Amino acid sequence: MKVNIYYGGRGMLDDPTLYVLRKIEEVLRELRVTVERFNIYEMKNSITTLPQTLKDADGIILATTVEWLGIGGYMQQFLDACWLYGDKEKIAQTYMQPIVMSQTYGERESELTLKNAWEILGGLPCSGICGYVEDLVTFEMNQEYTLMIEKSAENLYRTISQKIRSLPCSNQAVKRTVSRTRQMELTPQESEQLSRYVSDDNYVQTSKEDLEELTTIFRDMMGQDPGEDETPYIMDLQSHFVTQEDLNAVYLFTFEGRPKSLIIEIHNADLTLRYGGNEQADVYVRLKPETMDSIIGGRKTFQRAFMGGEMTAKGDFKTLRMLDEAFHFS
């Protein structure tokens, strides 16, 4: 059995949450549980990749400290990353114990926030620990408090090992029937790759610059060289098109170093290809001509080019993935 601990506090020496975590770790290790702790404050630039560490965990502990209001920014960023990039199938099988200690007001509300968040993500919350600590030394010397913490760790172990279930909750019902939050429909593998790119500051900055250039590229249009082919790729795309039912989409391809954009309109069995200027589209794509040549030559797919950073895109990711279904070059 393995339990991951995600600590969302700031790592202060007088943080009572750290004392509680040390006691819980001691009990779990005595029970031969593998315990790994992730201090989120030490991983500011890689929080988006943290949900990938859930894959080998049977249960997790979300621990934070209320310093003035709520669960704090680090823990909120981690939960946001779980919502955007986490493997929901794995989360649905993972037990979570919330631990919230406070030196001010609001520990009960924060514990409830963690439980609600994990339920909405689809996970399995179990009983946690919350408490107010006025003096850390007094808290540590109290044997009754220590015993309660140890019992809580034992309950977590028992819940995971016996796979104890709980009654249905309204959070899941609300998620199914009311929630309209749009999510990127990605596979777990795509989520992992995308989360790595998001955590790469250089990649994010480059992508932003590419998008800005894409929105302004048509402001100063230049004439095309008379000796240059005005309609590249059209014949190749037409000859490799595969009819897609219920696909109605417009793609706008911009190639570096070329003034005109390629517009691809797909309406079920109808395919329209033409070169033009700035138009409304469902997906905006930017790439080098060499990358497009590799795709048409069957050496890579649109999805591989996008995930590898050779192609940038803006719009609906699900519609973007349909390009490889609509055009077979292999």
- pLDDT, tens digit, for every residue of 99-126? 999 999 999 999 999 999 999 999 999 9
**Structure letter (DSSP) for residue 327:** B
Single out the residue of 63, 67, 73, 62 nearest to residue 14, CA to CA.
Answer: 67
Single out the residue of 158, 136, 161 nearest to residue 20, CA to CA.
Answer: 136
The mean pLDDT value for 71-97 works out to 93
Say if residues 72 and 99 touch (Cβ distance below 8 Å).
Answer: no
Q: Give me the helices (H) in 93-142, please.
A: 107-120, 136-141
The mean pLDDT value for 127-139 works out to 94
Q: What is the pLDDT of residue 220?
A: 45
Q: What is the pLDDT of residue 181?
A: 47
**CATH fold for the domain made of 2-177:** Rossmann fold (3.40.50)
Q: What is the pLDDT of residue 186?
A: 61
Q: What is the pLDDT of residue 308?
A: 84
Q: What is the pLDDT of residue 110?
A: 96
Q: What is the pLDDT of residue 296?
A: 92
pLDDT band at 13 (very low <50, low <70, confident <90, very high): confident
pTM beyond 0.75, yes or no: no
Q: What is the pLDDT of residue 196?
A: 65
Computed on alpha carbons and rounded to an integer, the radius of gyration of the chain in Å comes to: 26
pLDDT beyond 90 at 188: no
Q: What is the pLDDT of residue 229?
A: 55
Alpha-carbon distance of 154 to 274, in angstroms, equals 66
Q: What is the pLDDT of residue 134?
A: 92
Q: What is the pLDDT of residue 223?
A: 45
pLDDT beyond 80 at 215: no
pLDDT beyond 70 at 144: yes
Q: Which of 40-54, 158-172, 174-188, 230-244 has the lowest mean pLDDT?
A: 174-188
Higher-confidence residue: 262 or 231?
262
The mean pLDDT value for 18-39 works out to 96
Q: Which of 21-35, 154-168, 177-191 has the lowest mean pLDDT?
A: 177-191
CA dihedral 210, 236, 246, 269 (to 10 degrees): 150
* Fold match between domain 2-177 and domain 200-326: no
Alpha-carbon distance of 325 to 273, in angstroms, equals 17
- What is the 3-state composition of the chain as percent helix, strand, coil, each rounded to the nearest 5? 45, 20, 35
**Structure letter (DSSP) for residue 301:** -
Residue 150 tokens read as 């140890």
pLDDT band at 194 (very low <50, low <70, confident <90, very high): low
The mean pLDDT value for 214-229 works out to 50
Single out the residue of 37, 115, 45 nearest to residue 79, CA to CA.
Answer: 115
Single out the residue of 132, 136, 110, 107 nearest to residue 13, CA to CA.
Answer: 136
Say if residues 153 and 63 touch (Cβ distance below 8 Å).
Answer: no
pLDDT band at 199 (very low <50, low <70, confident <90, very high): low
Higher-confidence residue: 297 or 221?
297
**CATH fold for the domain made of 200-326:** Nonspecific Lipid-transfer Protein; Chain A (3.30.1050)
Instruction: Please give the helix or strand (H or E) that residue 29 lies within, else none.
Output: helix 16-30
pLDDT band at 314 (very low <50, low <70, confident <90, very high): confident
DSSP output for 180-197? --------HHHHHHHHHH
Q: What are the residue boundaries of the structural domains of the chain, listed by start?
A: 2-177, 200-326
Mean pLDDT of the chain: 86
pLDDT beyond 50 at 224: no
| Apex 141 CA angle, 139 and 146, nearest 5 | 75
Q: What is the pLDDT of residue 45?
A: 86
pLDDT band at 252 (very low <50, low <70, confident <90, very high): very high
